[in-house]
Structure 1
Amino acid sequence: MGKREDFAIAFLIFISIIFLIFQRYFDFSMIMFSDIYIGLVYLLIVLIFLQTIFDWKFLKKKLIYYIFFLPIAIYPVLKCYFKIPYIFCKSCPRKCIWGHLREFIVQGFIIINIDKRSWCFNYCPFGYLQDLNKKTVNKRITLPKKLGLSRYVVLAAIIYLLLFFGRFGFKAEYSVTLIVLIFTAVIFILSFVVHRFFCNYFCPIGAVGDLVLKLEKLFKKRQS
């Protein structure tokens, strides 16, 4: 493992601890509600689509996507009007950048993922973070393959909540709940010893990508 990766991991752990300890005192409004930042993220997603066509080398560095997408991914964990972040953005009285972009970027991620889960392995900040984490620990834990079905349970639960509980868990304050912090900490810690723990056992976007790939294989078998 190179010095740059060592520094990236150390810096990431330091920033994560600072966020969790002092998140009440941080105000990311200038970033998370900025039209300029939203525009840059839109532009980057468009460039990702173009990169698949033109094979631009400068867009192959994962650190670019990590820098741009990590704030979007982590902000709802720290501050959200709902007990469960990421899901009920349509009902949010003050949408952060994730709330503004969700309808566009989720579909975009799913489309990018159709091609061999390209989003998961090349652009996702959570995936990149877990790849860095696993390099710090030599000992790995292998979980039963059947546990991978939990992703589909999470996907089904999200669809159910979206359809029937549009304002479920409304807190009327811009804060974080204890259960979300615990869940985040558990996933972060286990990602050091379990390969892509969140990706393989909880991520709904990865679950959709897997379903598409399985349907594609099934369709090809029937054609042959």
Structure 2
Amino acid sequence: MKVPFYKNRRFYQLIALVITNLAVWNFIKGKLYTGILKAVPFPSMNCYACPSSIFSCPIGTLSHFMVMEKFPFYTLAIIGLVSLPFGRWICGWVCPFGLLQDLLYKIPSPKIKMPKKLELIKFLMLLFPVLILPYFFKKHLFCMMCPVGTLEAGLYWVGFHPEIRRLAGMLFSFKVAIMILIVGGAIFTKRPFCRFFCPLGALFSLFNRVSPIRFTHNPSLCTRCNHCQDVCPVDHKIYENPDSTSCIRCLNCIRDCKALNIKYPFTGRKDRNRSEKSPL
């Protein structure tokens, strides 16, 4: 189904990519942006150490607060403010790394469906490498293996700066191996990082069940054809659980299926703005 550009996720994902990486000249200068905006944790996976990044990473910020033994009021407030209205929508509409994985999955290849239980791993990643272990060991453990940081920052700094390359050892090789597995895996399965490993996605997903905007499912109209799963970037059957922590609120299924809808708070109004050419 054709979607107007102003309602298209790709439009907003690209805008977010540009806004979060405005300092592109730093790739030539070999510097980091260190202006005032760096104190703001932008709610998406975009590495602090990327030369073009003008914001900080919320996961790196959370880890930093844990190392400093401080409670991250500021960062959690930002995450709450952007997630409470619509749940995990940032993952579907803003995150540049989600966009990359969506594009990689379009490459013709054998496609693999992964067990849904693996999605629990992202909560373990949030709990241990981001929160608990940094508090005790004073190390930013998730940042040390984050594939987003390796892709956006690590490869550049090691590849183009000999003084940093001399310091790279087995840890960097380990980071690159993880990145290759995640990025390469996105060709064969839908969004492996978002679904199984992203601690920020785990945080956002907690708001799906408390968001005042609800997804609804009408069993009498549902044929369980699994078209919703086919068009879903995270391979979710929304009829099984409309407010699941898996859902990234991309609206692909809502636009395509008459059995699905959105219920707005207070008014109880439902969105009927859907194509009459729906295959369902």
TM-score by length of 2: 0.42
Matched, 1:163 2:119: no
Contact 1:117 1:206 in 2 (8 A): yes
The structure with the larger Rg is 2
How far apart, CA to CA, are the structure 2 residues paired with 1:106 and 1:112? 10
Correspondence 1:190 to 2:204: no
CA shift, 1:111, in A, is 3.2
Structure 1: gaps spanning 5 or more residues: 6-25, 49-64, 77-84, 93-101, 219-224
* 1:34–1:151 CA distance, 2 compared to 1 (3 A): same
Q: Report the equivalent of 1:18.
A: none
Instruction: For residue 192 of structure 1, report the CA deviation from its aligned partner.
Output: 1.0
Quote how far apart the aligned CAs of 1:128 are. Answer: 0.8
Secondary structure of the corresponding residue to residue 127 of structure 1: helix
Q: Which amino acid aligns with 1:141?
A: I
Say if 2:47 is the partner of 1:75.
no
How many angstroms does 1:89 deviate by?
3.9
Aligned residues: 149
Q: CA deviation at 1:34?
A: 3.5
Distance across 1 between alignment mates of 2:87 and 2:140: 34
**Letter of the structure 1 residue corresponding to residue 100 of structure 2:** L
Distance 1:133 1:209 in 2: 23
Partners of 2:122 and 2:195 within 8 A in 1: yes
CA-CA distance at 1:214 after TM superposition: 3.5
SS at match of 2:107: coil
Q: Would the aligned equivalents of 1:113 and 1:120 in 2 still touch at CA under 8 Å?
A: no
Q: Which residue of structure 2 aligns with residue 13 of structure 1?
A: none
One-letter identity of the residue aligned with 1:112: V
Decide whether aligned partners of structure 1 residues 75 and 113 sit closer, same or farther in structure 2, where only a CA change above 3 A counts.
same
1:49-70 Cα offsets, whole Å, 9 max, x none, are xxxxxxxxxxxxxxxx9xxx75
Unaligned regions of 5+ residues in structure 2, if any?
Answer: 1-9, 11-26, 52-58, 145-163, 212-242, 245-280
The alpha-carbon deviation at position 88 of structure 1 amounts to 4.8
Q: Is the 8 A contact 1:110 1:208 kept in 2?
A: no
- Taking a change above 3 Å as real, the CA distance of residues 109 and 125 of structure 1, as seen in their structure-2 partners, is farther
Shift of 1:41: 9.3
Compare the two structures and name the one with the higher helix fraction.
1
Identity across aligned pairs (percent)? 23
